[in-house]
Every structure is written in C-alpha cells, then in structure tokens.
Amino acid sequence: MGISALKTIVPAPVEIIPAVSGKFVLSNLKTVSAAPGLERFAVEAVDSLRFFGVNAEVISGSEAQLTFALDSSLGAESWELVVSENAISITGGDSAGVFYALQALVQITAAASAEGPVPAAIECGKVKDSPRFGWRSFMLDPARHFQTVETVKRVIRMMASYRLNILHWHLTDSQGWRIKGGVVSDDACLNTMTSGAYTIDELKEIADYAEKYFVEIVPEVDVPGHSLGLATAYRNLACDPENPGIELCIGNPETLTFVKKVFAEILTIFPRSRYIHIGGDEAALTHWEKCPRCQAAVKAGNFKDLRELENHFMRQVAAFITENGRTPIVWGTGTPFDSNTVIQAWLDHREPARHIANNCKCIMSVHNSYYFDYPADQNEAQRSWMYSLPEEAVYMADPFVIWESSWKDHLLGPEACLWTEYVPDWRVIQKILPRLGAYAEVAWSQVAVKDYYDFRRRSGWLRAAGYEEYLRSLI
C-alpha cells in the first residue's frame, strides 16, 4: 500500500508508537463491545466502519475484536488506541476522548481500505493523544444566507470528526433574524438574502444533537449594531423611527430592557451553553450622532464620546449574562471590558495583547488566518476586503503567534469563522471541507507534532481513500 494507515490521522496525535511487526486484518473485525455506559460507541463504530466494508456486530463482554473503555487518568478529551494482530482497544479519559479515538479509527480504516476491504489491514502499534486547546471553535453564520437544520447538523458532525468542540452560532444580523416564534416578532426576520428561521424547538433539537457529539453551542445575538431587523420591527428602539438604520438607540433606556428580555430567552433556549455571545462590533456612529437621546445619554453619563456610551451599554448587557451564571463574549473593538468577559479578537494578530492586559481571556479569530469565507484558491471570487486563505495559510496560523509565554493563561483557543454574505446553503460544506482538517490541526495538535508537508501527506491520502465521501454522508 505504500503508507502506514496508522500514520494518517488528522489532526495529528501526540504520539504514534508503531510495533516492530504485525497487522490487524480488518476483515477479522467481527465483534465490538463497550464497557457499561459506553454502549453507544460500539453501535456508532459498527455503523461508521460499515461505510468502508467492515461488517461487525455489537456483543456483550470483553472478548470482542474492538473494545471501548474508560481510564480517567488519561485526562479530559484524551485517548489511547492500541492495535495488535488480534484486537483493537480504545480507551478514553472521558466519553469525549472515547468518541475522538473512534474518529481516529475511522480515518485509519478509510486509509487501510483504499483498495477495498479484502486487503485492508492496520499496522500494529499504539496511538496516544490529548488536545492543545480546550476551546476549538467554528462559527457558522445563518443570518445572511440561511442554513437548513440538516446543513447545520452536517457541519456539527464534520466538526466532531475532526475533534472540534464549539459551534459559535451567529443567529442574528441585519440581513436576517433567525429565531422564529420567540419574544422577538417575526417581523424582524427581514431575510434580505434568503428566507428561513429556526423555531425554538429546532434550536433545541440542534443543541441536543451537538451535545451528542461533544460540541457546545455558543449562540450569538449581535447588538447594538448589525440590528436592522430589530430596529425596523421595533422602531421605538431606533434613533430615527422613519429611517431606522442598523444600530439600536443606546440612549433609549427601553433598548437595554428589551435586549435583556431577548437574552433571557436565549438563556432558556440554550440552558447548557456556558458562553453567550452578545456581538458588539462594527456599530456606525451616524445615527447616534444625530440622535438627541444618545447625545443626552453621553452628557448624563459623563462619557467623553459615543464609543464610551456604547461600551457602557455593552458592559450592562455583559453584566446581565454574568448575573445569570453564564460567560459573555464580545467581538474585539479596542474598548475595554471587565475580566469576566471573553474577547473574540478578529482585527489583527496583536489584538489579544490589549485585552490580556486587562486580564480578559481571548479567542483568536483574526480574519486573514481564520475566515473561511475568504477564498481557498484563485478560482473563487474575492471581494476587496478579503485575503486569499489557502489550506497552507490556515495551517500556519498559530493562535499564540509568537507570544505563547505571555498569552498562555489567557487565550482560550482559536475559532474559524464562515461568514455567508456570499455563501449560500449549498456551498457551506464545500467552503468548510477543504480546510477543516488544517484548522483542526491548529486547534488540537501539539506544536511538536505539526508539520505541513506531513499534514498534506496524511490529508491527501485520506482524501484519495474516500474519507471526505464518508464525511459528506454524515448527519
């Protein structure tokens, strides 16, 4: 075959220890069993491996050729996989670790089965792994071009296959309000690009689906800018009711009351989401400068300008999230926040340093390294503000840049973002899939085991073996 199937795992594990000799013949894998509490992984293994021609059944007991077990000493999300001539064993530090080991086994099986199930075999050896970052996030934007429930689930399942564990869900923007039947009137769903909104039940369904695959939802309602739908549906919350604009009126006390009501509902819809994203970026000053209420609020609060008023408004929203037992996240704008607010850095690579100086934790999402709407190759349309972002550029984007020693305790991890102004639903998977493995290696793999040319070898072999066809089949 010319390649070791054991050495095709993406993202790269901490350590692969090949045996001196020996192989496990995949056609001999007839039975799968799991320790109590892990039975679902035995079922998932049977379903997943069948895609590659491996036909096995779940049995009870420990005599199966493939077994699943727990060992808490390995640590959260960590795992080990051992291949001998007669058996394969998977051990996880927790359920997530067991799941991630299974995803690695699926990749190994794909690589070994490239020429069909008859000659398929895996070299004997041991794989040990654990994550570099606990925060390994991907952002999906249905507010511009709407994604169906099925597409969102596909994205979550692909993320999980590459050991990504946070879905930042940008549910609102000026082009669309994607929460239907809640406290916000459906009139806010302008749907200026494509129609669609998620019912409360669908939002909960997707959150439950994500949890099954160890992905946590971080819902976002973006205020006070990016709010054309809200300002149009609730003109009393706009600076100029006749010409609402895309910013809410931050000089109107009713605005904060209403926004808190919206986030109270978000907290209810997503009770297991530890983090709530409140937006806070790219608000223009045009309407605020002309608004008597905003100008009066600047004077009453002794703020030096409208940006200080805006920061005061966002701090109050953040405090509401904190008071309700969650952690607020805001887009980095250069203005300071309390240390219990997480800053998502997107403007430039030095941005986290400014917020770390205020003792805030940060997420690294700098646009020219992590924005998946940017073109992956020269055949894609490229807007004036976009950078080319091929797979190699994604791979080389270390979240710490060169400041690991000073940022280590403050950087949660990276987040790749797919904005969809120019990405309709049917292109979402195409935009994600070519670069998802490279990004996953940034988010998961230790620096010592990263090598771009080795990544190209591994990912290229998996692609040639049909692994991406397997990913496209998942939901």
- In single-letter form, the type of residue at position 359 comes to N
The neighbour count for residue 10, using CB atoms within 10 Å, is: 24
Q: Any alpha helices (H) in 51-180, and if so which ranges?
A: 95-112, 149-161
Give tens-digit pLDDT for 250-281.
999 999 999 999 999 999 999 999 999 999 99
Q: Any residues with CB less than 8 A from the CB of 110 and at least 6 apart, and which?
A: 8, 52, 462, 465, 466, 467, 470
Domain residue ranges of the chain, discontinuous segments joined by +: 5-129, 137-444
451-466: pLDDT as tens digits: 999 999 999 999 999 9
Q: Any idea which fold 137-444 has?
A: TIM Barrel (3.20.20)
Report the predicted TM-score, pTM, of the whole model to 2 decimal places. 0.97
When pLDDT is cut at 50, 70 and 90, the band that residue 2 belongs to is low
Length of the chain: 475
Q: Are 414 and 11 in contact (CB under 8 A)?
A: no
CATH, domain 5-129, list 3.90.180.10, 3.30.365.10, 3.30.379.10, 3.20.20.140 = 3.30.379.10
**pLDDT, tens digit, 9 for 90 and up, residues 203-219:** 999 999 999 999 999 99
Q: Kindly give, in sequence order, each residue whose CB lies less than 8 Å from that of residue 289, ignoring residues fewer than 6 positions away.
A: 295, 306
Q: What was the pLDDT predicted at 187?
A: 83
CA neighbor of 444 nearest in space, from 153, 169, 140, 131: 131
Give the pLDDT mean for 371-383: 92
Render pLDDT for 176-233 as a digit per residue (tens, 0 to 9). Answer: 999 999 999 988 887 788 889 999 999 999 999 999 999 999 999 999 999 998 999 9
Percent of the chain with pLDDT over 70: 100
Q: Tell me: the pLDDT tens digits for 295-334? A: 999 999 999 999 999 999 999 999 999 999 999 999 998 8
Report residue 151 CA to chain centroid gap: 14
For 99-155, what is each residue's pLDDT tens digit?
999 999 999 999 999 999 889 999 999 999 999 999 999 999 999 999 999 999 999
Question: Could you tell me the pLDDT band of residue 1, with boundaries at 50, 70 and 90?
Answer: very low
E strand or H helix at 457, and its extent?
A: helix 452-465
Q: Quick one: pLDDT band at residue 62, thresholds 50, 70, 90? A: confident
Q: In whole angstroms, what is the distance from residue 29 CA to residue 33 CA?
A: 11
Residues 6+ apart with CB under 8 A from 49: 29, 56, 105, 106, 109
